[in-house]
Structure 1
Amino acid sequence: MRNRLRKAILLRSNFVFSGGTASRVQRHGVWASVTNEDATTDSFRHSLLYANNKRIFVFHLSIRVPSLHQSCNCHNSHWPQGYVETMTFRALHLLAFLTSVVRVSKADTEFPASNEVPLPRTDVLSHALSAAQTRLSELILSNPVIKIVSHGSPTIALDDANLEVDNIALVHLTNLQLRSSPFHMMSAVPDLRLMGLSLYGSIRMLEVTGNYTISVEVMKHTSMALITSDRGSLNLTFENMEISGLVGLNFSENKLQFHTVDLLYRPNLVSLRIFYKDVRGVPRVTEERSSSLHGRVEEPIYTDLAKRLNSLIQEELNKLFRNVTIAQLMDGKSGTEISFKSSKNARIGNLNDFINCILNITKENITDQISIPDFENSFEKKLGLVTIRGNFKAEGGWLKGLETIHRTADVTLKQLNNSIEFSAAMGLRTLEFGYARYRAKLLNVGPSGALTASVGSNSLSFRGIVDYTDSTCRVTSAEVRVMDLQDMKLKLTGLSPFNWIFSKTATSVTRRSKFNVARAIEETFGNQIRNNLKQFDCRQYFPESTVKAVDPVTENSESGQKEL
């Protein structure tokens, strides 16, 4: 047993140890050496290990070799290459003599006595996870109703939005407010091997109210026949919303956390009512019902609505289940708890490295600065009883900061037969954009100059599907979505003496710029990542046992699904 435990300890250090017997360990101890190559720092770390039946001693020797690698890729930069060999005492003495570069440390952890419980076998852990998943599902569904509120208020503010038709921002949606029925969770299926939770539920009704305005040029556009006035208000309802998707799980200080919520919202009926006044000032109402959102006024509202709902549901889940612990799920069994933590950390580490690897390849193949489309908007200024319309045009758009992309949370996974659906939250550490030239004209008079802007906060979502066969592991679909762009700060040169134009144009410029920036980020990263993944073999990050193994957890996954 001691020999098996000694091997387990060395394996947990990502080393493969062979050789030695239990009797040899007990009488003399075992010396071994481990060499790890770090391609990111061009160095070797040589470790000497001594293990007997009481203690483990570790000697570390670090050697830096300039220009060890001309370049590195994901295969060797994220996975240190290690090996273990038994050493003669003469070789050991020669290395230990290099006192200027050798650091000696002692690990005081003793081998457990024979009456202590060893780490559980794989099948024991699998059955423990299956029982834990059932407990977690029952805990979640014991509180099946989540109220959709923000800071205790049932009225939730949404971001302003734009609807584009024929590459022109036609409709500006402002002062959007959301009220929602509660979210009823009908099914919760945890997968603690992949640290994910599949949720299914419904919301009876979502209602969004707000205002709209339309540019002068848009009024002649036939595809927006539903709206016949340049300003008014709207009422939008999504009825019988079906909700399903993934929730990422983690444990912080042994307590359950929901770190990512990536749910999809599918309404069965969408109703839009437009309130406006016709040319004679008579109030009018236009109503339309549909089950499709594509290319309609509802689409940008729906995008922001889904983002806000995911965030609010995540907050409520963490409030409801903040006291759930690993020990509670493992029924107080310390052995399975330790084994689960070790397995979880290793698996999540692999999957996070997978996303990091893709992002590193992407950063090597994109430019930090790209172009964004020009745009043109109108604005108004009242002179007495007369309203005059002006024009704002921006050209030579640019966007930079793409090389600062990074993962911001652990990967969320869901297994589907021989496929894995994954989702990762990402962000850009810095994001700036601008236009080389702008012109603002009112009665053919106005300023011109350059426009620059910074984005204070942002968030992106990276989704994909991994297909695993007997010979390959491929990412078969991938998409990047911008989830949030906030705290935009604009700076325009050449305004004086037309500073008032900034206040008239800032809101519309920010809306349109946000649309252009989001689209450019999604297209640039989406296209590059898809190109990078065409020949990318992900087998090293998704071992076969993760994707295809049939164990008690997989077999009993249906038992973890409770229906209300």
Structure 2
Amino acid sequence: MRLGLSMGPLHIQGDYSLESNSVMEVIPLTNAGKISVIISEVYAEGQVGLTLGEKSLQATNFDMTYTPKNVIITVTYETNEGPAVSQVSREALDKTLVEKFREDLWYKLNLILQKELNYLLEFSPLARLLPDENLLKEFRNLTRGMTVIANKYIDDILVLAREHITQNNLEQVPVSNFGTGFSKKILFITWHGNFTAEKGWARDLATITRTSDMTLSYDKGTLSVFGSLGLRDLKVGFDQYFAKFMNIGPSGTLRATTGYNSVFIRAAIQLGINSTTSLENLRVDNIDEIDVKVTGLGILNWLTSKIVTWVLGFYNESIRKVVRQQLLNPLYHVLNDVNPNEYFM
């Protein structure tokens, strides 16, 4: 189903903390306060995959593009002279900090849109759309059959992709180091420290699998297949970290496991005697339920909650890109080894 709509204004708010190693090497300065993001209008356009529920159609897969207009970011923080407010306005997201969590934001909008659409679809039951029971039964069988074919097509591509990852020893790939500053007030003095994690890796990329039924859409000779994938296991680790605070310098290891992740895929098939397939979109929509374990902190154990926050930011900033790139290459390599004509012609 093609869909285009205005979702109206969007308001995001929360706390922020700004701490930088490079800044604190020069001057012990940190900043924290409240942040508010107002997007005056969000336009949504794209495709929604529909499945036949027991009584009504249900929205499942979302291949949507969100276009925000007029972004206003306001931060409120404390100074020696009292509360201060700073504000910046942009016409689009690409030059604002909201760009840092854009994928998460679009994923949340997909969930909101899914909930609202499914609520509306309940008011158009299948019995009203197709009152003929025999016709409804035939339609169910047809859609189930097409879904099975689409699922099998993606599954067979993923089998080859997993083999490619394993054969080329790509189950584990390196990730960049990361570091940050931090501070803690003890009595009347605010002390500053720094944290650096090194020798990082991401592993178990060969566990990529399909996590939902695929959706098929057809337009002018092009058949699109889209839906959700996921890594059954996604682990990230750093074999060494260093923390320094008040002349205390513990070191140890850091491990993070992911309980849930979602990867969107859309493949486009140019149908013909020799059909060809292109990978039009692959993005990491969501990484959630991250469990972090840190060794060696000792009396700096209070840093654990901060480290969890830093790791979440690192996942959003870097791990998404690593996972996407390391899955793109195998998929590109094997995509046309699976002949779409054997499934769709």
| TM bucket normalised to smaller | 0.7 to 0.9
Residues 412-452 of structure 1: CA distance to partner in whole angstroms, max 9, x if unpaired?
Answer: 23323122333211112222221111111113422111112
* Aligned mates of 1:504, 1:234 — CA distance in 2: 19
Indicate whether 1:319 and 2:123 are aligned: no
* Aligned mates of 1:500, 1:333 — CA distance in 2: 64
Structure 1 unpaired stretches of 5+: 1-196, 221-227, 544-564
Q: CA deviation at 1:239?
A: 2.1
Indicate whether 1:434 and 2:242 are aligned: no
Q: 1:496 aligns with which of 288, 295, 298?
A: 298
Contact map agreement 2:32 2:77 (CA 8 A) in 1:
yes
Contact map agreement 1:198 1:414 (CA 8 A) in 2:
no
Q: Which structure would you say has the larger RCO, counting Cα contacts within 8 Å and 6 or more residues apart?
A: 2
Contact map agreement 1:246 1:412 (CA 8 A) in 2:
no
Q: Which residue number corresponds to residue 61 of structure 1?
A: none
Q: 2:51 aligns with which of 247, 250, 261?
A: 250
Aligned AA for 1:294?
D
* Aligned mates of 2:95, 2:119 — CA distance in 1: 37
Q: Which residue number corresponds to residue 137 of structure 2?
A: 338
Contact map agreement 2:147 2:215 (CA 8 A) in 1:
no
Indicate whether 1:529 and 2:342 are aligned: no
Q: Which residue number corresponds to residue 419 of structure 1?
A: 222
Contact map agreement 1:256 1:323 (CA 8 A) in 2:
no
Q: Which residue number corresponds to residue 259 of structure 1?
A: 60
C-alpha distance 229-202 of structure 1, shift in aligned 2 (>3 A): farther
* Aligned mates of 1:513, 1:408 — CA distance in 2: 21
Scaled by the length of structure 2, the TM-score of the pair is 0.87
* Aligned mates of 1:448, 1:296 — CA distance in 2: 35
* Aligned mates of 1:285, 1:437 — CA distance in 2: 39
Indicate whether 1:204 and 2:4 are aligned: no
Q: 1:485 aligns with which of 284, 287, 290?
A: 287
SS at match of 1:498: helix
Indicate whether 1:452 and 2:255 are aligned: yes
The structure that is helix-richer by fraction is 2
Contact map agreement 1:202 1:243 (CA 8 A) in 2:
yes
* Aligned mates of 1:305, 1:513 — CA distance in 2: 15
Q: CA deviation at 1:295?
A: 4.7
Contact map agreement 2:197 2:238 (CA 8 A) in 1:
yes
Contact map agreement 1:479 1:526 (CA 8 A) in 2:
no
* Aligned mates of 1:419, 1:344 — CA distance in 2: 19
Q: Which residue number corresponds to residue 270 of structure 2?
A: 467
Q: CA deviation at 1:484?
A: 1.9
Indicate whether 1:354 and 2:153 are aligned: yes
* Aligned mates of 1:525, 1:303 — CA distance in 2: 17
C-alpha distance 382-240 of structure 1, shift in aligned 2 (>3 A): closer
How do 1:13-92 residues align onto structure 2 when only pairs under 5 Å count? none
C-alpha distance 251-442 of structure 1, shift in aligned 2 (>3 A): same
Q: CA deviation at 1:266?
A: 0.8
* Aligned mates of 2:125, 2:78 — CA distance in 1: 58
Contact map agreement 1:204 1:239 (CA 8 A) in 2:
yes
Contact map agreement 2:21 2:180 (CA 8 A) in 1:
no
Q: 1:289 aligns with which of 89, 99, 104?
A: 89
Identity %: 28
Contact map agreement 2:226 2:265 (CA 8 A) in 1:
yes
* Aligned mates of 1:326, 1:416 — CA distance in 2: 25
Residues 227-255 of structure 1: CA distance to partner in whole angstroms, max 9, x if unpaired?
Answer: x9733332222223221122111123464
C-alpha distance 281-361 of structure 1, shift in aligned 2 (>3 A): farther
C-alpha distance 211-504 of structure 1, shift in aligned 2 (>3 A): closer
Please provide the CA RMSD for this pair.
Answer: 2.5
Residues 350-396 of structure 1: CA distance to partner in whole angstroms, max 9, x if unpaired?
Answer: 11111112211111111322222111111112222111111111111
Scaled by the length of structure 1, the TM-score of the pair is 0.55
SS at match of 1:207: strand
Q: Which stretch has the larger CA shift, 336-345 or 322-331? A: 322-331
Q: CA deviation at 1:467?
A: 2.6
Aligned AA for 1:353?
K
How do 1:105-254 residues align onto structure 2 when only pairs under 5 Å count? 197-217=1-21, 219=23, 230-253=31-54
Q: CA deviation at 1:282?
A: 5.0
* Aligned mates of 2:209, 2:337 — CA distance in 1: 22
Q: 1:509 aligns with which of 296, 304, 311?
A: 311
Q: 2:162 aligns with which of 363, 381, 404?
A: 363
Q: Which residue number corresponds to residue 127 of structure 1?
A: none
* Aligned mates of 2:242, 2:59 — CA distance in 1: 48
Aligned AA for 2:16?
Y
Contact map agreement 1:446 1:498 (CA 8 A) in 2:
no
C-alpha distance 204-253 of structure 1, shift in aligned 2 (>3 A): closer
* Aligned mates of 1:429, 1:219 — CA distance in 2: 39
Q: CA deviation at 1:326?
A: 4.0
How do 1:385-400 residues align onto structure 2 when only pairs under 5 Å count? 385-400=188-203
Q: CA deviation at 1:535?
A: 6.0
* Aligned mates of 1:306, 1:268 — CA distance in 2: 14
* Aligned mates of 2:30, 2:247 — CA distance in 1: 26
Indicate whether 1:307 and 2:110 are aligned: no
C-alpha distance 210-400 of structure 1, shift in aligned 2 (>3 A): same
SS at match of 1:445: coil
Q: CA deviation at 1:297?
A: 0.6
Contact map agreement 1:404 1:428 (CA 8 A) in 2:
yes
Q: Which residue number corresponds to residue 172 of structure 1?
A: none
Q: CA deviation at 1:407?
A: 0.9
Contact map agreement 1:261 1:311 (CA 8 A) in 2:
no
C-alpha distance 392-229 of structure 1, shift in aligned 2 (>3 A): closer
* Aligned mates of 2:195, 2:270 — CA distance in 1: 49
* Aligned mates of 1:535, 1:430 — CA distance in 2: 26
Residues 161-198 of structure 1: CA distance to partner in whole angstroms, max 9, x if unpaired?
Answer: xxxxxxxxxxxxxxxxxxxxxxxxxxxxxxxxxxxx21
Paired residues in the alignment total 337
The structure that is strand-richer by fraction is 2
Q: 1:409 aligns with which of 201, 209, 212?
A: 212
